[in-house]
Copies of this chain bind each other. A is one copy, B any other.
Amino acid sequence: MDFASIAGILSGLSLIVAAIFLRGDLSNFLNIPGIMIVLGGTIASTLLTFPLGDVVKAFKAGLFVLYEANIDPNDMVKSIIKLSNISRRQGLFALGKIKTNNLILKKGCNLIADGAEEDIIRNALRTEIESLKHRHLNIQDVFIKMATFAPAFGMIGTLIGLVQMLNMLSDPSSIGPAMAIALLTTFYGTILSTLFFLPISGKLKARTMIEVINMEIIFEGAIAILKNNNPLMVFERLSSFIPPQDRTISEREVYKL
């Protein structure tokens, strides 16, 4: 559970509600047709822009980003060093029997156990990393595009309201409230973009960065195991991917893993 995200959304929304209550009535800021045109229009343009499968994946990822924990790169380094020790003691073939639900780690182990050449392992894992990056970028892109569609539909809603108001100028007392309603869609579009779509795309980007680091650790680790490198060298090589202050594995631990 990602408490910073929950705190961010709640504090952002309550600040806006508090600002509204200070000098007026919350009901002036609720306009169902306005919400429908902004939210509905944004979803419509998103369905047009991306294949349906990508939109579904993006929405799932956007929800899970608040719940799922990332794998700590330190744990990934530990797993690789363990595999390195196994392969040194029991031979490369032993890696074929490893159980893991990380598909790329599994693929790397299988390729090594099958006796694939370094070149093939490098290419296969590199392609996995590159296509994972592409898929993640694509999912971030869904929310980045939504962040541009929402204010555009906000403006479309405001233009509809303004045109309607300008055609009914005969009753001066209705001008103010009519214009207020017209502005609400711009208000909704800006909030959706600034407090939801842009932050979600940012959070997904942060998660991608950690996943890519884990993939790079698997990649370099697989090569190191194949070359039968000294575990300390493997550790020195892999720990470079983790910020110095976040490294939790000591050199002494390496041989005990």
Residues on the B chain within 8 Å of A200, using CB: 48
Closest Cβ neighbor of A175 among chain B residues: B169
Within A212-239, the residues touching B (CB, 8 Å) are 213, 220, 229, 232-233, 236-237
Q: Decide: B166 and A16 in contact? CB cutoff 8 A.
A: no
CA gap between A19 and B24 in the complex, in Å: 26
CA gap between A48 and B202 in the complex, in Å: 8
Q: Decide: B19 and A157 in contact? CB cutoff 8 A.
A: yes
Give the residue of B148, B168, B194 whose beta carbon is less than 8 angstroms from that of A156.
B194
CA gap between A8 and B153 in the complex, in Å: 14
Residues on the B chain within 8 Å of A176, using CB: 166-169
- When A44-B9, A166-B176, A183-B162 are in contact, do A206 and B37 touch as well, CB less than 8 Å? no
Q: Decide: A12 and B28 in contact? CB cutoff 8 A.
A: no
CB distance from A181 to the nearest CB of B (A): 8
Within A96-132, the residues touching B (CB, 8 Å) are 103, 107, 110-111, 114, 116, 120, 123-125, 127-128, 131
* Interface 0/1 of A169-182, CB less than 8 Å to B: 10001011101100
Q: Decide: A167 and B24 in contact? CB cutoff 8 A.
A: yes
Query: Is there a chain B Cβ closer than 8 Å to A248's Cβ?
Result: no
Residues on the B chain within 8 Å of A163, using CB: 24, 28-29, 180, 183-184, 187
A-B contacts, 10 of them at CB < 8 A, read A8-B44, A8-B45, A11-B47, A15-B44, A28-B167, A29-B160, A51-B203, A116-B233, A149-B198, A159-B187
